[in-house]
A and B are shown apart, each in its own frame.
Chain A
Amino acid sequence: MKIKNIIITFVSAIAILFSTSVVSLAKVVGDKIILGAAISLTGKYSSNGVHTQNGYNMAVDRINSMGGVKVGGKTYMFDIIYYDDESNPKRAAQLAERLISQDGVEFMLGPYSSGLTKAIAPVTEKYGVPMVEANGASRSLFTKGYKYLFAVLAPANLYLDVAIRTAVELNGGKGVRIAQAFEQDAFSQDVRLGILDAAKETGSKIIIDDKLPKELNDMAATLAKVKATKPDVLVVSGHTKGALTAIRQIAEMKVDVPMLAMTHCDAAKLSKQHGANSQYALCASQWHKTLTYKDDFFTDGMTYDADFTKEFGYAPPYQAAESSAALLVFKDAFERAGSFDQKKVRDALAATNMQTFYGNIKFAEGGQNVDKPMVLFQVMCDDAGKCENKVVAPLKWASAELIHPIPKWSER
């Protein structure tokens, strides 16, 4: 019994020591600026969570190795405390609370996905902690009047807006007939709202409007309806699952549609998993390596792509690129604020107007980035079956011409 007591005392002593040392690590200590982040390292978002973390780490290393952040004549280095939110919104909110009140973090980076960002934003708002996030695009994040939330990415309702406008343009300015299928989650439903707006403005008609359940892995019924009604555009958004299921079943059911627009193609590794069947799919993306934006740290998209691939062994999806951009925004804001006062940093963030390799960044009142359009790429394959994503819209960055309409299956 005595030994047990001694062990318990010993363990608690160590625990207390650790907890105090964590507190002393936090905030801005010595030459370190400590940022906090709850990220999905396990659970259903873990692959994108890891992309996010890699993006953050890459930028931290780069900024630190290139001289760090200069505030008030002194040089500081970035450091990040990570916690695993297990892809669970409740856990994410708890961890944000813990980062701020226990670890004393004064500046936060966002988690992965709109849902988790939605869970964390009220907490950072409550404590007045500025958060730059890179992976929550849901429109509802930017309509709540949050003052401390800044998103480097374009809001979800703009994801496929370009596709509808392009289709209308190709149709001689006349409205098109749209079939759409969206998963029932915050992000996909926002993409849907964007399509509804675009349809209204262009006089297009929505003839199929299906909502996909979260567990769905069969879209046969939706696609049979598409076959029967022959719309001009088919729009699908349901994360990687939706993209993979749609391509598989469109190919199997030989659904001919002049334009197919979707989200999450690169996260789903569409061309790798489906090869030539994914050809001609149009995909919305926040970023593509061939875009010609520039900055001092990562030079440009191509260099970022090469450096990231060298470090992590795979090509960076846009989730990684936008995460790296979040750190660049923080650095810029700290230097302009010239202080670590949370209010001053917040005001500096709000006044951000810069270019990064990922795109221009300028925040609107609600915190969303309004200076960076979405890009559309099209999956294009050569005769050997090797596929590549080529930017086709907006025209300014297009590296290939849009193939429209998609050839019929009988002619492929």
Chain B
Amino acid sequence: MDFLIFQVPMLTVQAVLDGLLLGILFALIAYGMALQWGVMNIINIAQGDLVILGGYIAYFMYLYGIHPAWGVIVSPIIMYFVGVIIYKLVINKVVDRDLFISILATFGISILFMQLMNFAFGADVVLANSGYGTTMLFDNSVTLPNSKIFSAFISIVFAIGLVIYMKKSKLGRAIRATAQNARAAKILGVDTEKVYAATFGINAALCGVAGALISITFTIHPYMGLPYTIRSFMIVIVAGLGNLPGVAMSGMGLGVFEEFADYILGTEFRIGSVFLLLVLILVYRRFKLSKKREYLK
């Protein structure tokens, strides 16, 4: 039964399409993580919780009769400020420190956010209905929820928008300069403190978009953030830092990988297989590095 996917060819098409659409959404979250990791050298464990918080914003709009799709505009705006506030309160104290300190700090933020969301919004699983209907392909044997297509489309729009912003705008250039060499950028008059705050804010805003999309496509719950953190960590590791096209590719790859793992190994191994892949890739990287000759710095 586990190999049903090879007996019914349309399932393969379904798996690939589902995986790609899902992967694009993952890539958007990973994109934010890669950005702040690259610029500030911070691995944000609270990434998934920011996503869920963004989802709640869209959910509350839905609850008050506004179409949740507007969440993709409102949620990033609110989340940007949430991000900046977190930066001012906590992150700016750990930004130049050891990576371990920042992991601990964001881990703390993650727990705090989970509990606060649980306290404020309750422990119920909720979702926002977009009423977008379904696209059917190949005589109804492959179905794609329009909400997933919408999510992927919006993710692409935001990702492209951000790339352009990074290239063209003054702040974008300052962010890139800081990522390359924070000290040099500072000497040349870049206010790195402001750049860091903006970077963290942009990351939170991206999480806000992704969260709004997740509340439309899946379900949200205060304790559901961690899998998103792990997936985006995984995507960034595979792609390598500073490799934005790589993030998109590895995001989609991970999405398809998950779907196939689900069909072949069983649903229970879906998330487990992501961990397994992470381990394998890290071992492979290590192996490759050990073969490479490098001069001592």
- What residues of chain A have their CB less than 8 Å away from a CB belonging to chain B? 42-48, 87, 181, 184, 207-213, 215-222, 224-225, 227-229, 239-241, 244-245, 248-249, 252-254, 268-269, 273-275
Contacts and interface: CB of A to CB of B under 8 A. Distances in A.
Contact of A218 (B15, B129, B218, B268): B218
Interface in B78-125: 115, 118-119, 122-125
A218 B266 contact: no
Contact of B127 (A45, A216, A248): A248
A207 B223 CA distance: 32
A248 B4 contact: no
Given A44-B223, A211-B267, A225 B11 contact: yes
Nearest to A207: B1
A216 B269 CA distance: 11
A167 to B, nearest CB: 20
B142 to A, nearest CB: 8
Given A45-B123, A212-B268, A224 B14 contact: yes
Nearest to A86: B115
Contacts of B18: 220-221, 224
B163 interface: no
A408 to B, nearest CB: 11
Given A227-B141, A252-B145, 6 more contacts: A42-B115, A46-B122, A211-B266, A212-B267, A216-B271, A240-B124
B162 interface: no
Contact of B125 (A219, A225, A241): A241
Q: What 9 A-B pairs come out closest when comparing CB atoms?
A: A252-B145, A211-B268, A221-B262, A217-B218, A46-B123, A210-B267, A253-B143, A215-B227, A228-B8
Contact of B271 (A213, A229, A273): A213
A221 B263 contact: yes
Nearest to B132: A252
B266 A210 contact: yes
Contacts of B267: 181, 210-213, 216, 219, 221-222
B184 interface: no
B118 A42 contact: yes
Contacts of A218: 22, 218
Contacts of B224: 215, 217
Given A211-B268, A217-B218, A245-B218, A273 B8 contact: no
B222 A273 contact: no
B10 interface: yes
A227 B226 CA distance: 30
Contact of A216 (B15, B122, B270): B270
Contacts of B145: 249, 252-253
Interface of B: 1, 4, 8, 10-11, 14-15, 18, 22, 115, 118-119, 122-127, 129, 134, 136, 140-141, 143, 145, 147, 218-219, 221-224, 226-227, 259, 262-263, 266-268, 270-272
Nearest to A212: B267
A224 B7 CA distance: 13
Interface-central residue, B124, B145, B222, by most chain A CB under 10 Å: B124
A45 B221 CA distance: 11
Nearest to B222: A44
B11 A215 contact: no
Nearest to B129: A274
A44 B119 CA distance: 10
Contacts of A212: 267-268
Nearest to A228: B8
B295 to A, nearest CB: 44
A46 B120 CA distance: 12
Contacts of B221: 44, 217, 241
Given A212-B268, A218-B22, A268-B125, A252 B118 contact: no
B123 A228 contact: no
B263 A208 contact: no
Given A181-B267, A212-B267, A221-B15, A253 B123 contact: no
Nearest to B135: A252
Contacts of A227: 141, 143
Nearest to B220: A217
Contacts of B119: 42
B210 to A, nearest CB: 13
Nearest to A239: B125
B187 to A, nearest CB: 46
A47 B118 CA distance: 10
Interface-central residue, B10, B123, B268, by most chain A CB under 10 Å: B123
Contacts of B122: 46-47
B140 A254 contact: yes
B117 to A, nearest CB: 11
Contacts of A241: 125, 219, 221
A373 to B, nearest CB: 28
A198 B140 CA distance: 33
Nearest to A224: B14
Contacts of A244: 125, 127, 219
Contacts of A252: 134, 143, 145, 147
Interface-central residue, A216, A222, A245, A275, by most chain B CB under 10 Å: A216
Contacts of A228: 4, 8, 10-11, 141
Interface-central residue, A211, A213, A268, by most chain B CB under 10 Å: A213
Contacts of B143: 227, 252-254
Given A45-B123, A241-B125, A213 B118 contact: no
Nearest to B14: A224
Given A217-B224, A225-B4, A245-B218, A184 B268 contact: yes
Contacts of B115: 42
Contacts of A254: 134, 136, 140, 143
B226 A215 contact: yes
B126 A213 contact: no
A385 B77 CA distance: 35
Contact of B270 (A48, A207, A213): A213
Nearest to B267: A210
Nearest to A264: B125
A212 B10 CA distance: 23
Given A244-B127, A254-B136, A44 B268 contact: no
